[in-house]
Amino acid sequence: MLAYLVRRVLWAGVLFLAITAVTYILFFVLPVQRQQTVRRTEFAATDVRQDLNIHGPVYREYAQFLERITLHGDLGRSFVNRERVNQILYGAAPVTAWLVLGGAVLWLLVALPVGILSALRPRSLLDRLTMAAVLIGISAHPLWIGLMLSYFLGFKLHALPIGGYCDLVDPATSCGGPAQWAYHMILPWLTFTILFAALYVRMVRANVLETLDADYVQTARAKGAPAWRVLRSHVLRNALLPLVTMLGMDMGVAFGGAVFVETIFGLPGLGQTAVSALRRQDLPVIMGVVVWTTFAILFFNLLVDLLYAWLDPRVRVVTPSGRRAASLQAQPARPASEPAVQP
């Protein structure tokens, strides 16, 4: 397990270096080297170098840039108000984090039971309604979903606030405290839920249906195991493993979709901060959002990899040449209650 952890951490570090290198080239190297660049952009790139004290050849500049952001967390200052980029992102990052995490919890709470029940009763009325809802959820854009929820639940029924954000830990303000915070986050969470739950319902349904026809499930039924034990120990354990990998990839997609959701509901998160910085050509803030989002996505993917290795020990089995055993990959994970068959 330790060797697997070291490999995943090293791979995450390589990806971070690659993305920061591309970010550095886009924000610092290209605007200065292009002769036809607008003067304001050239001035902005020069200011960034002065703020971060970056001088010399490109490779040395990148090394200094990487040292600043990794060891000191120095992302420079905003061109608009000269405020430190770190302070701007410290206020915006928790909003986006709560938006994505809360939406992920809610769409999993919806997708898991609906997908499992739909697979256990194929071609039933529930299954047909579920597939129709899945088609609508997959086809809809988050902007359209958010606007429809705001119009019907906020404007027409006055059941939920259309926009705004309340602080979670400061109940002294007029809009603060856990209750008001959750009340104002329901519509953004519902937007994420409708968008992603459709994908997860379809995936859970397909995996459960495929696992129900597996040989080891049929063998457990033939031995007289109760239906609930077969479902819990044999079906769900193997059918939900791909869900972990999909969740890790979708966290990055959710961070990208947060731009639309935050714009609709007026949430002061990273997405709204990036849009505002793009309009004002505030390069240090844009670069800071890219770096923070990259780190968050790599962190969540690392957690998902470790969780998958804990759920399925086969991913930690490595041959002497450094490759996973193909025979182990081809076999489904055997439940702990099922003994191994000896030849």
- The 10s digit of each residue's pLDDT in 126-136 is 888 888 888 88
275 burial (CB, 10 Å; 0-12 / 13-18 / 19+) is middle
Q: What is the pLDDT of residue 317?
A: 53
Give DSSP secondary structure letters for 70-132. III----B-TTT--BHHHHHHHHHHHHHHHHHHHHHHHHHHHHHHHHHHHHSTTSHHHHHHHH
Q: Is 138 inside a domain boundary?
A: yes
Q: What is the pLDDT of residue 50?
A: 61
Residue identified by tokens 């050509």 is 281
CATH of the domain at 127: 1.10.3720.10
pTM score: 0.77
Q: Is 257 inside a domain boundary?
A: yes
Domain of 195 in residue numbering reads as 92-280
- The 10s digit of each residue's pLDDT in 68-118 is 887 877 787 887 888 888 888 888 888 998 999 999 999 999 999 998 888
pLDDT greater at residue 337 or residue 176: 176
Q: What is the pLDDT of residue 229?
A: 84
Token digits of residue 50: 């002065």
Task: Say which DSSP state 157 is in.
Answer: S
- Identify the band that residue 48 occupies on the pLDDT scale cut at 50, 70 and 90: low
What is the pLDDT averaged over residues 256-272? Answer: 86
Q: What is the pLDDT of residue 198?
A: 86
Rounded CA separation 115/127 (Å):
9
Q: Is 175 inside a domain boundary?
A: yes
Backbone φ and ψ for 25, nearest 5 degrees, come out as -65, -45
Q: Is 102 inside a domain boundary?
A: yes
Q: What is the pLDDT of residue 187?
A: 92
Q: Is 330 inside a domain boundary?
A: no
Q: How many domains does the chain have?
A: 1
Q: Is 71 inside a domain boundary?
A: no
Q: What is the pLDDT of residue 189?
A: 92
Q: Is 207 inside a domain boundary?
A: yes
- The 10s digit of each residue's pLDDT in 229-253 is 888 877 887 777 888 878 877 887 8
Whether the pLDDT of residue 256 is over 80: the answer is no
Show the DSSP H helices in the chain as ranges.
2-24, 30-33, 39-52, 58-67, 85-120, 125-139, 142-149, 178-212, 215-222, 227-229, 237-239, 241-265, 270-280, 283-311, 326-330
35 burial (CB, 10 Å; 0-12 / 13-18 / 19+) is exposed
Show Cβ contacts of residue 230 under 8 Å, excluding neighbours closer than 6 positions.
217, 220, 221
Rounded CA separation 230/253 (Å):
34
Q: What is the pLDDT of residue 188?
A: 92
- Greatest alpha-carbon pair distance for the chain in Å reads 78
- The 10s digit of each residue's pLDDT in 288-337 is 888 888 888 888 888 887 877 777 766 655 544 444 443 344 444 444 44
Rounded CA separation 105/244 (Å):
13
Q: Is 248 inside a domain boundary?
A: yes
What is the pLDDT averaged over residues 154-179? Answer: 79
Show Cβ contacts of residue 1 under 8 Å, excluding neighbours closer than 6 positions.
309, 316
Rounded CA separation 295/298 (Å):
5
